[in-house]
C-alpha cells in the first residue's frame, strides 16, 4: 500500500511552492554574496579603503623651508629668500575646465589652450604659474575661481646682480642649488620643511588636527668675499676684456695673511636673477687650468734661492737670448736678447733663457718638489664646485727640455687660484694658507656649524720670501732699463709682481698658435708690507696688444689701488695732479690755468759696496706717485651717481672737491646736483648701503 505524503503548505499549488523555493534560494545566494563582499571590503581590503578615505578627508601639508642666506664678510646680503606668490590648481575641484582656462588666461596672460591642457586631468595638484607679480596674484584671488589657489613660496633673490655671480651661483625655482656656493653648500642652505596633518571639511577647507610643525630655515653662509672689492674687480675686468675684445678674463684677490678670497671675478659673467642663458656662470678661477707662462718664473727662482742653488745677484750667460737644446727644433728665445743677467734681472726683464738655466742648475727633482709644495697639481679644496687640480707630470719623467720649459710656465697647467695662493705665500713670509671662500656656516639658532681650519705650511724660508719681494719690486722700475711692468702705475702705492705672455696651445693643429695669447699679471700690493695678492688673466686679447704688462697690468693697477684705498691701507701721494679722468656722466672741464706737470726722477741711490768678484743686487727704486693738488678756479661738480667709494674719493681728490659721505656701496644721491659750481662746503654723497632715512633703495648695490 502506497504511503500518502501530505504537503506542508496545503492549499498552495505546487508551482507556487517551486517559485517560492527558487526565490528563497536566490535571496539566500544574494545575501551570501553581500556578506562575502562585506567581508572582503572590511577585512581583506579594509586597509586599502581606509587609506583611500584618509586621502579624501585628511592630507599631509608641507610648508617649504626658507633657504639660508649667503652674506659677504661684512654681513651684506649676496643671496636671500623672500616670499613670492605662485598659482596652482586642483583639477578635481574645477567644474568647467574650458571656462576656467579662458578666465585664468586673461588674468595671467597665458594661452587658454595650454591652461586647459593643464587643468583637464585627474590630478589634485598642478602648478599654473610660479613667482608671479603681486598684481596678478591679487587679480586671481579676486576672481575666486573654483579649484584655483594662490600660495606663498620662497623665491631666491640676489641683491648684487652680476656682482660675484659665478661665485655665488644660483638656485632653481624649487630652491635647489645649481651652481657656485648655492650648489656646493646646498645641504647646509636647505632647511627642514614644516609638516602637519590637516582634515578637510565638507567644503574642502583644511583644519589642522594636531597643530603644524614650523619649517626650520637653512643655515647662513658667510663668505670671505667683500662685496665692494668684488665690484671693483668685476668692473676693472669687464672693462679690459671688452676693450681688448678678448675671449674671457679672470681676477683673483686674496688676503695675504689668511688666504681668504676677497674677490673672484670671471668675465663673461651672469646675473643669477635673470632667466635664460647662464653660460657666464662658469667660475673660471677654479674651473679653468692654463699654461700660464712667465708668471710661473717666480716659483722657479724662489725654489732655486731657497735651496741655495743661486742668489739674487748670481750671473748667468744668456747666449744673446737664444739657447739651443737637444731634442728641441727651435731654440729657447728671449723677447729682448742680452748677453747676461743676474737672477734678479732675469725676473725684471722676464728672460726665458735665464729661467731655463736656473731650472737646469736646480734640477728636476727639486723643482718638481717645490712646485708640488706650492700646491700645483692638487686641488686647493676651496668650497666651490668644479675645481681643477691642473696638471704636472712626475719630475722623475722630465727630460732636460721639459725641465727648461716648465721653468717659464709651459708644460704645466695651473689655475689662477693656485697662482694667487702661491704669490700670497711669498707675501706672507713664505707661509702658505690654503685659499678659502667660506668664513663660517651658522645655523638658524646661532650654532656655528663650520669654520675653515687649514694648517699653515712654510713653503720657503722667510729670507727667501723677502728676497723674492725685492725682486718682484724691480719689475715696476722705470727708465731705460726698467722692468716689464715699467708702464704700469698703481696710483699711491708701490707694488711688485710679474708679467706673463703665453702662447696658447691649439689642440687642432697640435702646435702653439702664433696669434693666440694668454696675457697675465700676478703680484703683491703694497710690496713692502703685502696686504693682498692679485692675479689677472686675459684670454686671447685682440686688437694688437697682447703683452701681459699692457693688457693685464692695468687691471692689476686699478684693482690694487682701489682695493687698498677701500681697505684704508696708507699709501704715498702724488707730486702733481694727473689729468682728470673721463667718466660716465662727468661734465667736461677746462682748466683756466693750464700747467705742465711731470713725474720727478727717482731719488738717487747710494752705490753699494761691491766685493771683488761679486755683483751687487739691483737697488730697489721707489717711484713716488703724483700728489693730488686741489684744482683752483671755478669748477663744476661732476655726476657721482653710480660710483663706488674708491672711485668717488679719487675723483674728488683729483678735482679738489671736499666730500661729505654717508654709507658705503654706490652713490645714490648727491647735493649739490651735477653741474653746480663747487661751494666751500663741498659735496654731500649718500651711498647705497647707508643708514640715512632719505636714502633710496637700489636694485644692485656694490
- CA–CA distance from 501 to each of 472, 495, 547, 634, 671 (Å)? 17, 20, 5, 46, 46
How many C-beta atoms surround the C-beta of residue 660 within 10 A? 11
Distance CA 29, CA 52 (A): 30
Strand partners, 156: 81
221, burial (CB in 10 Å: exposed 0-12, middle 13-18, buried 19+): buried
Residue among 39, 148, 138 at smallest CA distance from 94: 148
Nearest 10 degrees: CA dihedral of 292, 296, 297, 298?
140
Whether the CB-CB separation of 167 and 225 falls below 8 Å is answered with yes
Residue 60's Cα: distance from chain center in Å? 39
Going across the sheet that includes 194-200, the strands are 58-63, 194-200, 206-208
- Joined together, the cell numbers standing for residue 420 give 694667487
User: From its phi and psi, is residue 227 left (phi > 0), alpha (psi between -120 and 50) or beta?
Assistant: alpha
How many C-beta atoms surround the C-beta of residue 427 within 10 A? 27
Q: Which of 228, 248, 294, 519 is catalytic?
A: 294
Distance CA 304, CA 301 (A): 5
- CA–CA distance from 221 to each of 68, 190, 441, 557 (Å)? 7, 11, 5, 31
- Joined together, the cell numbers standing for residue 183 give 650648489
Distance CA 324, CA 333 (A): 9
Furthest CA-CA distance within the chain: 164
Going across the sheet that includes 683-687, the strands are 659-662, 683-687, 667-671
Distance CA 252, CA 77 (A): 21
Distance CA 344, CA 405 (A): 19
330 is catalytic: no
Measured over the CA atoms of residue 643, residue 645, residue 647 and residue 649, the dihedral's sign is positive
SS3 534: strand
Whether the CB-CB separation of 672 and 683 falls below 8 Å is answered with yes
Q: Which positions are annotated as active-site residues? A: 294
Amino acid at each position: 500500500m502506497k504511503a500518502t505524503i501530505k504537503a506542508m503548505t496545503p492549499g498552495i499549488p505546487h508551482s507556487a511552492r517551486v517559485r517560492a523555493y527558487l526565490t528563497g534560494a536566490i535571496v539566500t545566494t544574494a545575501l551570501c554574496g553581500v556578506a562575502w563582499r562585506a567581508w572582503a571590503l572590511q577585512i581583506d581590503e579594509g586597509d586599502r579603503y581606509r587609506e583611500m578615505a584618509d586621502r579624501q578627508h585628511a592630507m599631509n601639508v608641507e610648508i617649504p623651508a626658507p633657504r639660508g642666506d649667503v652674506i659677504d664678510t661684512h654681513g651684506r646680503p649676496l643671496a636671500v629668500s623672500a616670499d613670492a606668490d605662485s598659482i596652482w590648481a586642483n583639477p578635481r575641484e574645477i567644474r568647467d575646465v574650458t571656462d576656467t582656462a579662458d578666465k585664468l588666461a586673461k588674468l595671467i596672460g597665458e594661452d587658454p589652450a595650454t591652461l586647459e591642457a593643464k587643468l583637464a586631468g585627474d590630478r589634485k595638484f598642478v602648478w599654473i604659474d610660479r613667482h608671479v607679480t603681486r598684481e596678478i596674484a591679487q587679480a586671481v584671488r579676486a576672481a575666486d575661481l573654483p579649484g584655483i589657489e594662490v600660495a606663498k613660496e620662497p623665491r631666491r633673490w640676489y641683491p648684487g646682480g652680476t656682482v660675484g655671480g659665478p661665485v655665488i651661483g644660483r638656485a632653481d625655482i624649487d630652491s635647489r642649488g645649481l651652481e657656485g656656493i648655492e650648489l656646493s653648500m646646498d645641504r647646509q642652505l636647505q632647511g627642514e620643511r614644516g609638516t602637519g596633518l590637516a582634515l578637510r571639511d565638507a567644503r574642502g577647507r583644511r583644519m589642522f588636527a594636531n597643530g603644524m610643525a614650523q619649517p626650520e630655515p637653512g643655515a647662513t653662509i658667510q663668505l670671505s668675499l667683500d662685496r665692494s672689492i668684488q665690484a671693483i674687480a668685476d668692473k676693472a675686468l669687464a672693462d679690459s676684456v671688452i676693450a681688448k675684445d678678448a675671449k674671457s678674463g679672470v681676477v683673483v684677490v686674496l688676503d695675504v695673511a689668511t688666504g681668504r678670497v676677497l674677490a673672484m671675478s670671471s668675465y663673461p659673467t651672469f646675473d643669477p636673477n635673470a632667466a635664460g642663458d647662464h653660460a657666464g656662470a662658469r667660475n673660471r678661477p677654479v674651473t679653468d687650468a692654463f699654461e700660464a707662462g712667465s708668471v710661473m718664473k717666480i716659483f722657479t727662482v724662489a725654489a732655486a734661492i731657497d735651496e741655495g742653488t743661486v742668489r739674487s745677484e748670481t750671473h748667468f750667460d744668456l747666449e744673446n737670448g737664444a739657447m739651443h737644446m737637444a731634442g728641441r727644433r727651435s731654440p729657447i728665445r728671449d723677447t729682448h736678447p742680452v748677453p747676461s743677467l743676474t737672477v734678479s734681472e732675469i725676473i725684471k726683464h722676464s728672460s726665458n733663457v735665464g729661467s731655463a738655466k736656473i731650472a737646469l742648475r736646480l734640477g728636476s727633482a727639486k723643482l718638481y718638489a717645490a712646485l708640488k709644495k706650492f700646491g700645483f697639481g692638487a686641488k686647493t679644496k676651496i668650497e666651490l664646485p668644479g675645481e681643477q687640480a691642473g696638471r704636472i707630470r712626475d719630475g722623475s719623467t722630465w727630460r732636460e727640455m721639459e725641465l727648461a720649459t716648465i721653468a717659464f710656465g709651459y708644460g704645466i697647467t695651473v689655475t689662477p687660484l693656485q697662482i694667487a695662493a702661491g704669490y700670497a705665500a711669498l707675501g706672507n713670509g713664505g707661509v702658505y694658507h690654503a685659499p678659502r671662500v667660506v668664513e663660517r656656516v651658522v645655523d638658524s639658532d646661532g650654532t656655528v656649524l663650520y669654520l675653515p681650519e687649514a694648517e699653515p705650511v712654510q713653503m720657503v724660508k722667510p729670507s727667501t720670501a723677502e728676497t723674492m719681494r725685492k725682486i718682484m719690486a724691480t719689475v715696476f722700475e722705470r727708465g731705460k732699463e726698467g722692468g716689464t711692468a715699467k708702464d704700469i702705475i698703481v696710483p699711491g702705492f708701490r707694488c711688485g709682481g710679474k708679467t706673463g705672455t703665453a702662447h696658447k696651445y691649439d689642440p687642432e693643429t697640435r702646435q702653439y698658435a702664433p696669434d693666440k695669447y694668454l696675457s697675465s699679471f700676478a703680484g703683491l700690493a703694497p710690496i713692502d708690507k703685502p696686504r693682498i695678492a692679485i692675479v689677472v688673466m686675459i684670454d686671447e686679447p685682440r686688437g694688437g696688444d697682447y703683452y701681459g704688462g699692457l693688457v693685464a697690468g692695468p687691471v692689476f693697477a686699478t684693482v690694487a689701488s682701489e682695493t687698498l684705498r677701500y681697505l684704508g691701507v696708507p699709501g704715498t701721494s702724488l707730486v702733481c695732479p694727473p689729468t682728470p679722468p673721463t667718466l660716465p656722466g662727468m661734465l667736461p672741464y677746462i682748466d683756466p690755468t693750464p700747467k705742465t706737470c711731470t713725474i720727478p726722477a727717482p731719488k738717487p741711490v747710494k752705490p753699494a759696496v761691491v766685493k771683488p768678484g761679486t755683483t751687487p743686487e739691483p737697488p730697489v727704486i721707489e717711484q713716488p706717485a703724483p700728489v693730488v693738488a686741489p684744482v683752483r678756479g671755478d669748477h663744476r661738480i661732476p655726476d657721482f651717481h653710480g660710483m663706488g667709494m674708491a672711485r668717488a674719493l679719487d675723483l674728488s681728490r683729483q678735482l679738489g672737491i671736499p666730500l661729505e659721505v654717508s654709507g658705503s656701496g654706490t652713490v645714490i644721491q648727491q647735493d649739490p646736483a651735477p653741474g653746480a659750481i663747487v661751494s666751500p662746503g663741498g659735496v654731500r654723497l649718500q651711498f647705497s648701503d647707508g643708514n640715512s632715512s632719505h636714502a633710496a633703495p637700489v636694485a644692485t648695490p656694490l
